[in-house]
A and B are shown apart, each in its own frame.
Chain A
């Protein structure tokens, strides 16, 4: 099968499978991921090799676009609107999962520190699609629902920062540096990763903001925005900075210096769905079924302790911010799903650490499928317990 024919089939099968899975109330991302696993090299081998090879290219573009969009969260207006509960809960649930998973992988599973740290960082991500779907389906309303929506909307921003720091530390450890040189390198790498990305984002945001007044149509706006996002991704790769952070900072700076910035983010929505579909199908197709059976314990540990970390962190955040009893007890159950951001981070880890990358990526794909399937049930249970949905004659 040639590449273009393969792309055509992927898009159409993706559309069809998303429609099918929507009927049983699962989000489209789950369908794309399962489709990728089924038609990928491990099962039906229907995806042309050229497309598999270009996974890295597509994921870099998609991650750049996602991170750019996530940057919107960092507007002064947004922080004022979401309230302190959302900020405390989102920061602490992300950090607690990061620390707990890292600790368990290091101490119990005896994984090298750099591997444990990567798993920990990825575990901080959540995926709102399944959660939002349940909220919409049952017309959930109330403080619990609003807090949950706020947390799932904002916490991937913390994940990107956590992942960038962890990746910088892991890369330094991985290159087997001596103690003193190592500490300097870790410090330098982390600093460079964050400040370099911040400076790059800032430098690119200025021409976007100033040149946009010359745009004349929606088409030009889309080309202009996409062009600058690509420029930011490309320069970040070239300078060995974090693509995720550079684009997140680009979105963040833009939203704070340009009051019409929402138009840039809106314009990308006309093309991002196609890229997201390809990204998830390719992520699924990169699952290595052959090594899946060796990952039972790692996968199970990740599944359990990621959720445990989120429960501890969300509970602590709710306690500090004096949130209601229901939020303290049940909110973390709405944070079970993981998808795009976790898969994207795992793809980066796969490229940066080839010897363990397959193991990390396959674990994340497999656990993503499980989380996406059980996530909606957990959210439904949490909303029911919080008294913000009413389910008649159904077992939950």
Chain B
């Protein structure tokens, strides 16, 4: 069984220029924040925004630059006390907060291999791309479990 047969093809995506305000509006009615793919006009996947990246908005400094820096103290940020101007919602864009290094899986990968990758990288969901790196879907652990339950006849 290949990933493309089990994945969800309907994925909410955003562009590099989508603002923080627009992202928050998009998920205003959601209880959880999903892994949000950032795509170019041609559909190429260039980044992902996760809940972790939203929390990073509270931190100053370009955190992506500091990944290779040793001995940094972990930042303790009291998100309840931090002062923000309203402008941040319009100024911070997906490009500023997204993760540009992320794990993906190709659509023709076997489901077993995809599950192994997700388990290895502790991912609950993962973007699915084609050979050209274009986003074609999204695979969640629940999609895989649902497929197995279906196989066993527990669900039709």
Contact = CB atoms under 8 A, between A and B. Distances in A.
Contacts of A340: 70-71
Given A221-B120, A263-B121, A22 B73 contact: yes
A271 to B, nearest CB: 13
A36 interface: no
Given A28-B73, A129-B73, A260-B103, A72 B68 contact: yes
Interface stretch (A139-147, A189-197, A199-207, A292-300): A139-147
A316 to B, nearest CB: 23
B119 interface: yes
Given A217-B119, A260-B103, A66 B70 contact: yes
Interface stretch (B35-43, B58-66, B134-142): B58-66
A135 B101 CA distance: 24
Contacts of B121: 218, 263
A140 B66 contact: no
A194 B116 CA distance: 38
Chain B CB count within 10 A is highest, among A136, A149, A152, for A136
A127 B72 CA distance: 9
B133 to A, nearest CB: 10
A272 interface: yes
Contacts of A158: none
Contacts of B151: none
Contacts of A265: 67-68
Categorize the interface residue count of chain B.
20 to 34
A146 B62 contact: yes
Contacts of B70: 65-66, 69-70, 272, 276, 340
A132 interface: yes
A55 to B, nearest CB: 17
Contact of B120 (A82, A133, A152, A218): A218
B155 interface: no
Contacts of B1: none
Contacts of B119: 216-217
A65 B75 CA distance: 22
Contacts of A244: none
A377 B13 CA distance: 44
B67 A136 contact: no
Interface residues of A, number: 46
Nearest to B70: A66
A69 B60 contact: no
A70 to B, nearest CB: 6
B122 interface: yes
A168 interface: no
A167 to B, nearest CB: 20
Contacts of A263: 103, 120-121
B100 interface: yes
A71 B69 CA distance: 10
B72 A129 contact: yes
Contacts of B69: 69, 128-129, 132, 152-153
Nearest to B102: A262
Contacts of A149: 61-62, 65-66
A23 B69 CA distance: 22
A150 interface: yes
Interface centre among B67, B77, B116, B119 (most CB of A within 10 A): B67
A339 interface: yes
Given A69-B68, A216-B120, 9 more contacts: A27-B71, A132-B69, A136-B77, A146-B65, A217-B120, A260-B103, A263-B103, A263-B121, A276-B70
7 contacts: A18-B73, A136-B59, A136-B77, A141-B60, A260-B103, A263-B121, A276-B70
- Closest 8 A-B residue pairs measured CB to CB? A72-B68, A139-B60, A262-B101, A66-B70, A135-B61, A153-B65, A128-B69, A129-B71
